Structure 1
Amino acid sequence: MAARLKTDDEAWLGQPPSPFVLPMLLGAALLSAGLILYAAGDAVLAAGFAASVIAIAALMRWYRHLTAPALADREATPDWTVARAAADASNIAIAVTDRSGRLVCASDLFGEWFPGYPTPPGVSNDAGLTESLSQAARAAWRDGDGKLEGLAMGALRLDVDIARTGRTEDYLLWRFTPVRQPSALDDVHRFLAGEAGRQLGEAGIMAVMIGGEGRIRAANGAFLLRAAGRIDANITGRDFAAHMRVDDKGRLFLAREENGGLPLRLLQVPLRRASQPGATQATVQDGPMLLLLIDEPTGGGGTSALSYIETLLSLLPFGLAMADRDGRILFVNKAFARAAGLKSGDKPSYPGDLVAREDQAAVADAVRRFAVGPQMSGDIVVRMRDQPDEPTALSLAGVRGLGEAAVLLSLKDNSEESKLKRQVAQATKMQAIGQLAGGVAHDFNNILTAIIGHCDLMLMRHVPGDSDYDDIQQVKSNSNRAAGLTRQLLAFSRQQTLRPQILQLPDIVSDVSNLLKRLLGENVRLEVSHGRNLGAVRADPGQLEQVIVNLAVNARDAMPEGGTLNIQTYAVPAAKAREMRQQILPVSDYTALRVSDTGLGIPPDILAKIFEPFFTTKELGKGTGLGLSTVYGIVKQSGGYIFAESELGRGASFVIYLPVYSGADAQQEAPAREPVKRAETWGSGTILLVEDEDMVRAVAERALTRQGYTVLTANDGEQGLEVLAAHDDIDLLISDVVMPNMDGPAMVARARVSHPHLPVLFMSGYAEEQLRKSIDIANVAFLPKPFSVNQLAQAARDTMAMHRAAE
């Protein structure tokens, strides 16, 4: 409309005169004068008329020049009253700022949320918040719109939308929208306004939700019809007490039903729990409530009223039960039975029958306290009989006027929540244990490297038959056994070195079957079956064999009297994985390996701990507790998932799901190229050895010196760079990865600046693939700890040889 008005005004007043207007006006004046002269024959009259026409036209043109600037000014100044009225009609606060940062318009709601009408983005004293709003404003000027979510102003949370607007886009429109937080009040509001509220009305139950101030917030149709006379009446915000009356006998009636109305029974359900932060007994009683109104039977008995209440409670999704003054349970709805772990048809006699023995006395005492005296509510923490390790909040509320019912009990069904908490706690614990195990294994590998190296050096000075030869050999053998334990710890922590290949699970099972038959003994029968259309997987074949062997040995120990060990492989397509509804297993194609036995089974309390390192149920000295933890680590490091299933007396099953390899060539993959093995380990050249552990550095220096190399040593990265700068003839750099002050990768990165072609051999107790993910350095070799003297010499010779071949 504004645009149209402006166009009309400009047509009459604002447009420049046409070049034909003046001649036409003079012509019209002369023509009119000629007609008057012809008709009246008076020349003076004709001349006066023509002069009048010309004067009127001149006055109109003068008036147009006076009014055109005013019209232009009126059109140039926006009228913000319409924008304010539109904003005040909504539930959002708006503000408008111009390019100079001035606040030119704001709604009343903006002034309520931000007292004093501050100019955005300076709506808060928080410098960080102001900077975030400024960034969003700059984005709006640049891109046309900006957004900031979760603006906190006390208890109010707002989402801010900023848009560039105006005819010439010289303004920013700031919209502040409140973020609604989910609450029990909203749930009950929807409950009353929906189908459930209608069903309550059909059952003769009037339901009203009131706030702490006693005003109505929501009501079902039954209450609206009887209290206001219309089912579509709007009584929200009105005082609930105004719709009720009490007679001289203390009976409760609807105020509208003055004559012939039935007395009502009132049940109060507090919607604020005493366990909520900041809630006290007073705030619970004075807080929002759900009020249930039922007609009092004519005879005044409480049995019919109780049946109404039971009908109501059976419809509610909350776990509710009722008990009498003696503590006997009168009614339990389905949600309460499910939360308490009751089976179909079971009905306990007392609330104490549902909880652990240690909590029975506390529950009985609480029921007696709430059954007598003033009406009140509260919570106690109990442990259910079927879940003694999971504390649960049991809510109690005293009720009156319901016949035998004296206490209302509420129990939340948190079985899924508890299960999720246990899974998260178990995953967190396993991760923490894995980090600890990896750190211990790394440090232990340094010690074993020194022990094994010194044993090798001493064996060079002894021959078989010497008195010390067998003792040294025994020390080395035990050290190798300890190295095996550290490899198991690294496997559990997913930090071991793997050599993955593309392979088929049936081939791995076939390769290890002969070994399994010897391990299982004569009284355990081995059965192997393979499915069809199995997808290829990518894993380390040696480690998968270790997985199968560990699971088979555990199964053998679980069948002391003999039995059957069944190994199966089968395909699990994505559709079947989706039907399994496993929360941990993503939907994808898998190849599964199941290892089952017919042994004693695993108790439920032990099943959750079997993958933890050093946890074992075997006798002292008969197990390290690392078998299943190694299996767990290998499977997880290979990208798979493992689940344990067991039933006491009926055996156990371990199911491993490995993702199907989806590479371009899933049939075969060339194995990693092994370095050329040489029997001769002697060499020549200068080697810089950087190692922070004195014992490892000493044994490595002696080993390399005996092989013919000139060895320079340093105990950290900074000293290594100093030695490198002082010698230009260094042929190989051997360095530990993790060191104080400056680690190995940082030292090598700086060394490659001045020596770009220097060959590097890293040695570490961590896994090679883990280190390569964090080391962005090309053309480096890796030697895992612990290593022998020959392995160190061979690695040094191979690294130098490959470097010469590359040149």
Structure 2
Amino acid sequence: MSDTESFQSKRKEAQLRYTHRTLRSIFKHLPFGIICLDEKLRVLYGNFGGLRFEGGKTPYLPTVDLMGKYFHESLPFIDPAQLEVVETTIKKVFDEGAPITLTIRHETSTGPVFHELWIKPEKDKTGNVVSVLGIAHDISQIKRSEEALFDSEQKYRSMIENALVGIFIHQDGKIQFANKRFCDICGYTYEELVNKKSALDLIHPDEFGGPCQEKTTLFRSDQNSISGVHLNIQKKDGTTVKVSILGGNITYKGRPAICHNVLDITEQARVQEELQHKTAVLEAQLNASPDGIVVTNNDEVILQNRRVSELFKIPPEIEMDLPKQEKWVWDMLKHPEKAKEQVAFVYEQPDKISRAELELNDGRILDIFSGPVLGKDGRAYGRIATHRDITEQKRSELALRARQIQLSQAMELANIVYWELDLSTYEFILNDPFYALHGTTAEQEGGYRMTGNDYVNRFMHPDDQPRYFQLARETAEQPWNSAFPDFEHRIIRRDGNIRHIVSRVRLVRDDDGATVKVYGTTQDITERKQMESAVQESEALFRKVFEESPLGMLMADADLRFIRVNEAFCNMLGYSEQELGDLAFKDILHPEHMAEHKRYMADLINGAAPVHRAEKPYLRKDKELVWACATISVIRDGTGRFLYFLSTVEDVTRQKKVQEEKIRLESQLRQVQKMEAVGTLAGGIAHDFNNMLGVILGHADLALNDVDPRHALHANIKEIRNAAERSADLTRQLLAFARKQTVTPKVLDLNQTIEGMLKMLRRLIGEDIELSWLPGSEVWPLKIDPSQIDQILANLCVNARDAIQNMGKLTIETGTASMDEDDCHGHVALIPGEYVLLVVSDNGKGMDQKTMEKIFDPFFTTKQVGKGTGLGLATVYGIIKQNNGFVYVYSEPGYGTTFRIYLPRYSGKEDPLEKRSQAAPLLGGHETILLVEDEPAILNMARMALEKYGYQVLPAVSPKEALLMAKTHRGTIDLLLTDLVMPQMNGKKLADTLMPLCPKLKYLFMSGYTANVIAHHGVLDDGVNFLQKPFSAQVLITKVHEVLNDA
């Protein structure tokens, strides 16, 4: 080996030795122990120098001393039980090949020692565990710190859990911790609160948005500390708890949070509120007191109410300045020196009660009552004084004394009987009025004193003396402080006159209730007794009148219940007196009138009306209605207080029915009068209108005769004539309604007349309506213009046709009817007698009562505009009345309508009905005709027509001119053709006037209506020639020819 190699080898050995020494030194001084074990738990190497066991020291064992030893032999100072746990753990590391950490505890004389042992497997290249390395370090200090911390935490937790206030930690918007008290306050469990509820969730909803809104924002951050916030929180069960919250910033689990202390102040708030209420009530009572109240301690005023300032008129600006206020009060006193004496007395004897009167400068007098404020220990802690204004009381007392003096003098002057009882001698002391009442004088009776027995023997009526002695015995058994009853009795005056008197006794007692004076008055009540007797007689008379009155009488209380009823009232309603005693007005009065009745009764009670009279329907026991006129008044006592209602009730049911019947008949009469008036108007209109139509028809006929039928004007003129004819039909209907239509009545058989019309009527009503003809047997003859029967049936059938919708039935019947006085009762137009009956009925839609009342009015129609004239039924009505008949209508909506027409039976000789002659050709003549017409147009038309057919015409526009013309005419006048109604003289009188001048004169009257001149009610007298306006030229020529050639 060369020197170099040798040097290198020694150098490496030296380095190796140095490294070994260095590592050994480090290994020896490590602060923890190291041990390496093979699979048999033999020590390969190790060092425990860094561990502390007994006494804080561990004997140093070098590795060489440990090598080869078993583990349990290397650590003899370890507790065997702990050593066994370690060996078991080491074996587990060998078996499982994973490191394990465990803590072992070793008890020493100075306390337990803790080591943390980390056992790690050492593996070969194949992964098999060949050894384990154990590293142990002393953690006793850490363990002691942990235990101290645990103990501290336990103490802290115990304090927190058992605290009287609720505590919770709020962090990240949630409650992170809550103690038991806080859970109890909220009513939640710990689990329901922590990490689930926010403080905002517990605040009562009413706190948001109100005055506490600002406070609630403090819980929205974990950086806000809270100091003394009062809030309402809502418990889990919904109830409210008032709390006071104090919170501060803390660090909880390494982050900012707020710890809150929560105190339940619900009861405190209630007590405080109750105290505030009591204080407010006390202050209100003090301020409401009419007395001024001052409370002082031993040094100064501590409380006074507003009344003190009012009594002493203390200005508001010094009310809070006690020195100025005190000076003001002293200045108000009229005699301050007396007040100072009273104050001195109070300070000298603070436990005594004092009372004094203070007079103020303005004349008022105050009553001062002062007493000590005593504690439970009996010590006086101050005084309370009341100040009462007794100015008016003092004035009243002075006035009362003056009045007593005046009263005493007045009693003497007014001769009022007054007496006193001398309690020492039991003698009555009397005054002069007493003796005057008894018809004597004091001198005559031996002076102004008298015993009770003397009074009885001298003046009391013998019959009343037993009652007096009985009362005296009863009174003697009672104490003197008892009240005495009034005593009424009779006296016999010295002149023998008997009077009724009443004696009233009054007692005066002292403060202890003992009687110190007995006095009384005696009053003459003779007149009152007489009045009472008169009242009793009056009551007896009233009772007799009430019970025996033929009118119903009753008494009722304020609730309208019957107190008393008489027999007449019971009979009127069908109840017994006992039954009515259980009833009230509401049980007998028709319900529709009850509310009004109560209102009137209230007015009577209130005095708004002295008496109430009214007719009302009442309900009998059998539910029948009875009408009665009730007069109700109020009976009051002497003070005006309501006692009862007194009512007289008269049964007016019969009078009511008579009145209703009268009203109904008057209504019928007014209807008849109205129809008469309308008829008169219609007749007048028709008359004037007929004159115009006559002119039109006449000139149209003349024109038609002069115009070639082939000429265009011929057709136009014919249309004018047709229109005039239709207008004439309307005027005839008006005249028929007005009974001004001039007719020619004939005796006829109604059945035959109707049978002759049936074909025409069936065409009129149409095929959809069945016409049923039911003729009566042995129908009496009838005298009427046949054309009027035509008009009646035509109008009624048209009316029925319009009332039937689609299919229907119309029935015509005839018969007879006899009416006596009873049948005519209640019907203005009906006259007793025998009648021919015509009945027309349909099953159409019918009519209501309102429509039925108007159906005979002219121009009234239920049809559409332009569909009817409204004259059909008016015409029927006029024809029936013109023939002295009457009509009744029966109808209900939905049940059809029936017209029953009664026409008078004809009892005279029956004339055969003349057959209507066929129209003959127009024939003219050469006779002279005096034509009189006040209407120039008609005069001119008639003249032209007559002259055209060869007649000589003398036209006159007035009766006067006609008379003059008749006198001056040299030839014969064959015919007088005159209007009936003219000024100055009517046509009938003109004819009578001309008869002496022209004895053979024939006459023909013409008119739109007759005005009863030649016809009675429009019925033409026999033998009278009449021409109805309007007429055509052809009708005029025909009628003139007929009259002139009539033999």
TM-score, scaled relative to structure 2 = 0.42
8 Å contact kept, 1:464–1:470: yes
The 3 A distance-change label for structure 1 pair 586 and 349 is: closer
Q: CA deviation at 1:680?
A: 3.5
Counterpart of 2:607, as a letter, is G
Q: CA deviation at 1:250?
A: 11
- Equivalent positions of 1:383-462 (< 5 A) are 397-400=632-635, 405=645, 413=656, 414-462=659-707
For residue 889 of structure 2, the aligned residue among 640, 644, 653 is 644
Quick one: percent identity of the two aligned structures?
A: 34
Q: CA deviation at 1:290?
A: 8.9
For residue 592 of structure 1, the aligned residue among 821, 837, 855 is 837
8 Å contact kept, 2:931–2:943: yes
1:755 aligns with 2:998: yes
Matching residue of 1:331: 588
The 3 A distance-change label for structure 1 pair 393 and 448 is: farther
8 Å contact kept, 1:329–1:349: no
8 Å contact kept, 2:742–2:1015: no
1:485 aligns with 2:730: yes
Counterpart Cα distance in 2 of 1:526 and 1:672: 29
Write out per-residue CA displacement over residues 288-328 of structure 1, whole angstroms, 9 at most, x where no aligned residue.
Answer: x999888999xxx9745047574165489xxxx99x9xx97
Write out per-residue CA displacement over residues 357-389 of structure 1, whole angstroms, 9 at most, x where no aligned residue.
Answer: xxx7xx876554335328734668999xxxxxx
Matching residue of 2:519: none
8 Å contact kept, 1:734–1:761: yes
8 Å contact kept, 1:559–1:599: yes
For residue 781 of structure 1, the aligned residue among 1002, 1025, 1040 is 1025
8 Å contact kept, 2:988–2:1013: no
Counterpart of 1:311, as a letter, is C
- Equivalent positions of 1:20-35 (< 5 A) are none
Counterpart Cα distance in 2 of 1:293 and 1:628: 54
Counterpart of 2:1035, as a letter, is Q
Matching residue of 1:50: none
Matching residue of 1:517: 762
1:621 aligns with 2:866: yes
The 3 A distance-change label for structure 1 pair 491 and 405 is: same
The 3 A distance-change label for structure 1 pair 787 and 290 is: same
The 3 A distance-change label for structure 1 pair 263 and 771 is: closer
Q: CA deviation at 1:538?
A: 1.6
- Equivalent positions of 1:379-778 (< 5 A) are 397-400=632-635, 405=645, 413=656, 414-574=659-819, 583=827, 584-665=829-910, 669-671=911-913, 678-729=920-971, 730-767=973-1010, 771-773=1014-1016
Q: CA deviation at 1:773?
A: 4.6
Matching residue of 1:109: none
Counterpart Cα distance in 2 of 1:788 and 1:601: 41
Counterpart Cα distance in 1 of 2:781 and 2:1009: 28
The 3 A distance-change label for structure 1 pair 351 and 740 is: farther
CA RMSD across the alignment? 4.3
Q: CA deviation at 1:267?
A: 6.6
Counterpart of 1:519, as a letter, is L
8 Å contact kept, 1:328–1:350: no
Counterpart Cα distance in 1 of 2:1022 and 2:750: 34
Matching residue of 2:4: none
Matching residue of 2:604: 370
- Equivalent positions of 1:15-164 (< 5 A) are none
The 3 A distance-change label for structure 1 pair 670 and 251 is: same
Counterpart Cα distance in 1 of 2:533 and 2:719: 96
8 Å contact kept, 1:503–1:537: yes
8 Å contact kept, 1:306–1:405: no
1:799 aligns with 2:1043: yes
Q: Which deviates more from structure 2 when the two are superposed, residues 245-254 or residues 435-444? A: 245-254
Counterpart of 1:744, as a letter, is G
- How many residues were matched structurally? 492
Alignment partner of 1:642: what SS?
A: strand
The 3 A distance-change label for structure 1 pair 479 and 403 is: farther
Counterpart Cα distance in 1 of 2:935 and 2:763: 43
Matching residue of 1:34: none
The 3 A distance-change label for structure 1 pair 267 and 250 is: farther
Counterpart of 2:1002, as a letter, is P
TM-score, scaled relative to structure 1 = 0.54
The 3 A distance-change label for structure 1 pair 471 and 364 is: farther
8 Å contact kept, 1:676–1:798: no
Counterpart Cα distance in 1 of 2:529 and 2:792: 78
Alignment partner of 1:538: what SS?
A: strand
Gaps of 5+ in 2: 1-527, 618-626, 637-641
Counterpart of 1:331, as a letter, is I
Counterpart Cα distance in 2 of 1:250 and 1:672: 96
The 3 A distance-change label for structure 1 pair 331 and 611 is: same
Alignment partner of 1:458: what SS?
A: helix
Counterpart Cα distance in 2 of 1:573 and 1:266: 52
Matching residue of 2:564: 305
Counterpart Cα distance in 2 of 1:539 and 1:506: 13
Q: CA deviation at 1:515?
A: 1.5
8 Å contact kept, 2:555–2:565: no
Q: CA deviation at 1:767?
A: 4.6
8 Å contact kept, 1:251–1:264: no
Counterpart Cα distance in 2 of 1:698 and 1:542: 31
Write out per-residue CA displacement over residues 187-226 of structure 1, whole angstroms, 9 at most, x where no aligned residue.
Answer: xxxxxxxxxxxxxxxxxxxxxxxxxxxxxxxxxxxxxxxx
The 3 A distance-change label for structure 1 pair 679 and 294 is: closer
The 3 A distance-change label for structure 1 pair 250 and 482 is: farther
Alignment partner of 2:740: what SS?
A: coil
8 Å contact kept, 2:735–2:741: yes
8 Å contact kept, 1:498–1:769: no
- Equivalent positions of 1:111-260 (< 5 A) are 253-254=536-537
8 Å contact kept, 1:525–1:565: yes
The 3 A distance-change label for structure 1 pair 754 and 303 is: closer
Alignment partner of 1:742: what SS?
A: coil
8 Å contact kept, 1:302–1:403: no
8 Å contact kept, 2:552–2:648: no
Counterpart of 1:518, as a letter, is R
The 3 A distance-change label for structure 1 pair 565 and 250 is: farther
Matching residue of 2:148: none
Q: CA deviation at 1:728?
A: 2.6
Alignment partner of 2:712: what SS?
A: coil
Counterpart of 2:969, as a letter, is H
Counterpart Cα distance in 2 of 1:634 and 1:313: 50
The 3 A distance-change label for structure 1 pair 266 and 409 is: closer
8 Å contact kept, 1:567–1:595: yes
Write out per-residue CA displacement over residues 104-123 of structure 1, whole angstroms, 9 at most, x where no aligned residue.
Answer: xxxxxxxxxxxxxxxxxxxx
Gaps of 5+ in 1: 1-244, 270-288, 333-346, 353-359, 384-391
Larger fraction in strand: 2
Q: CA deviation at 1:528?
A: 1.4
Counterpart of 1:797, as a letter, is H
- Equivalent positions of 1:345-364 (< 5 A) are 347-348=590-591, 350-351=593-594
Alignment partner of 2:671: what SS?
A: helix
8 Å contact kept, 2:931–2:954: yes
Q: CA deviation at 1:656?
A: 0.9
